[in-house]
Amino acid sequence: MFPLKEFKKSLLVALWFVALTFPLMVIQVDPIERIVNWRWNNMFFVAIGSFVLSVVGKAFFARKEQQLSKKRTAQNEEVQDTIFQRVLREPRYLWPISLACLAFAIAFPFLFSTYQTNVMTTALMYVVLGLGLNIVVGLAGLLDLGYVAFYAVGAYSYALLNHHFDLGFWTVLPVGGILAAFFGIILGFPVLRLRGDYLAIVTLGFGEIIRLVLENWNEFSMGPSGIANIDRPGLFGLDLSLNMSILYLYYLMIFFLIITIFVVNRLQDSRLGRAWVALREDEIACQAMGIDKTKTKLVAFSLGAFWAGIIGVVFAAKTTFVNPASFTFLESAIILSIVVLGGMGSIVGVICGAFILILLPEYLRALSEFRMLAFGGILVLMMVFRPEGLISNVRRVYQFKKNDRGEK
């Protein structure tokens, strides 16, 4: 039975929220006509809504507490992994699952409409962006709040080169990536000495500088109106219809994603990848082990930026239009949220995070105006209930199997 004390508490919570939202939810003023509009029914909604949410939240927390205490009693057992993590580690399951995902991804455009395919392409782009940022934030532990700057560099390099010199998609693709990586190094140099949050704010400032320059330097970037009529990617000089080119881009993204997953996966286990993780965990110990801090950090920055540049080129080709409004801080925040939500450092986590964060607002469109409200709320709730991310990264460990004599 629901105890009376809890009921009273929830009632108080509801009262608090009614008071809290009173000036903004209930009163609406028209300063020109000088009319005050009292919306009492809103107060009613807030009261009921916050009461219900508080009851549900309390029940949820109680259950979590119970689980935690249960876990504490079972402390002697080995640390329990979730089923998901165990499946991920076992190559026996991992291969069929990935193959099934791939088959589904290839069949996707034939099962769903062109619109859905287009949305999916966007989601795939964010997966790759997330994986790129994952190198910087998840592996190397450098908090980058201006990742979108490199994305913008890629997008604008294709837009400008295409506009002025008529260069094609495939020519610019490596150029965009390398340019972005170059910018990554430019940013990397001054910030190498900074720690944690100082680094975060400088990268944020860098992102804003790039966006503001694009917005204001009219002769170079055509200002806020942007650049239109960018060519879609070509396929050996074939003229593709709109539907075909959407399909083409979709498969292109799948191809890029597979390459990215492969590269990031190999990087993680490489000497460089382990140097990143070591740098993240303890900088001083890492230097004592003979790891070149400057080089390792710069490589992380430039590699992360490289992926962003590549996807920037794809973005420009997909929308055929770029303007500075696409590269705001919100974009950086969303990409960072993908990485953190998915579970830092985990590839599968980043993929899940990207699908959730990009597809969620898309399918929440039914709620139209409440979409971003729900997005923000869900971000908070996710963090409160699973702060370590959806799938926490499993460190690679050596496992010693029991031998015949029963020893470990």
Partner 1 sequence: MDYFIELLFSGLTRGSIYALIALGYTMVYGIIGLINFAHGEIYMIGAFTSFVVATVLSIYGFPLLAIIVLAGVCAAIWSSAYGYTIEKMAYKPLRHAPRLSPLISAIGMSIFLQNYVLLAQTSDFLPFPELIPDFAFMEPYAHIVGSSDLMILVTTAVVMVALTILIKFTRIGKAMRATAQDRTMAMLVGINVDRIISATFIIGSSLAAIGGLLIASHIGQINFYIGFLAGIKAFTAAVLGGIGSIPGAVIGSLILGLTESFATGYISSDYEDVFAFSLLVLILIFKPSGILGKAETKKV
Positions that interact with partner 1 (CB under 8 A): 16, 19-21, 23-25, 27-29, 31-32, 34-36, 42, 137, 143, 190-191, 193-195, 197-198, 200-202, 204-206, 208-209, 212-213, 216, 284-285, 329-330, 333, 336-337, 340-341, 344, 369-370, 372-373, 375-380, 382-384, 387-389
What are the residues whose beta carbons fall under 8 Å from the beta carbon of 171, sequence distance 6 or more? 161
- Specify the residue, 25 or 263, whose C-beta has the smaller distance to partner 1: 25
How far apart are alpha carbons 126 and 292 in whole angstroms? 31
Q: Among residues 249 and 344, whose Cβ is nearest to partner 1?
A: 344
- Nearest-approach distance from CB 70 to partner 1, in angstroms: 19
Run of H or E residues at 27: strand 27-30
| Cα gap 122→131, rounded to integer Å | 14
Locus of tokens 């953190």: 340
Q: Which is nearer to partner 1, 107 or 209 (CB)?
A: 209
Q: Which residue has the tokens 């070149």?
A: 292
| Beta carbons of 227 and 160 less than 8 angstroms apart | yes
Q: Which residues pair with 238 in a beta bridge?
A: 235
Q: How far is the CB of 104 from partner 1 (least distance, A)?
A: 29
Write down the least CB distance from residue 373 to partner 1, Å. 4
Q: Least separation, in Å, of the C-beta of 205 and partner 1?
A: 4
CB of 202 to partner 1, least distance (A): 6
- Could you tell me the smallest distance in angstroms from the CB atom of residue 258 to partner 1? 28
* Block residue for tokens 């370590």: 388
Closer to partner 1 at the Cβ: 97 or 373? 373
Which is nearer to partner 1, 287 or 319 (by Cβ)? 287
Q: Which is nearer to partner 1, 115 or 189 (CB)?
A: 189
Identify the CA nearest to 147 among candidates 212, 186, 200.
200
CB 122, min distance to partner 1, A: 19
Closest contact distance (angstroms) between CB of 224 and partner 1 is: 11
Helices (H), 22-90: 40-73, 83-89
Q: 386: which 2 tokens? A: 């699973």
Integer Cα distance of 88 and 76 in angstroms: 24
197/292 with CB nearer partner 1:
197
**Which is nearer to partner 1, 200 or 305 (by Cβ)?**
200
Q: In angstroms, give the least distance from the CB of 253 to partner 1.
A: 25
CB of 226 to partner 1, least distance (A): 17
Which C-beta is closer to partner 1: that of 109 or that of 343? 343
Q: Which residue is it, tokens 């191809």? A: 255
Question: How does strand 27-30 pair with strand 35-38?
Answer: antiparallel
Sequence-separated (6 or more) residues with CB below 8 Å from residue 120: 108, 112, 250
Specify which residues 37 forms β-bridges with: 28
Q: Give the residues across from 227 on adjacent strands.
A: 322
Separation CA 210–CA 192 (nearest Å): 19
Closest CA to 240 of 177, 315, 175, 317: 317
**Please, are residues 200 and 194 in contact by the beta-carbon 8 Å criterion?**
no
Tell me, what amino acid is at 136?
Answer: V
Instruction: Give whichever of 56 and 330 is closer to partner 1, judged by the CB atom.
Output: 330
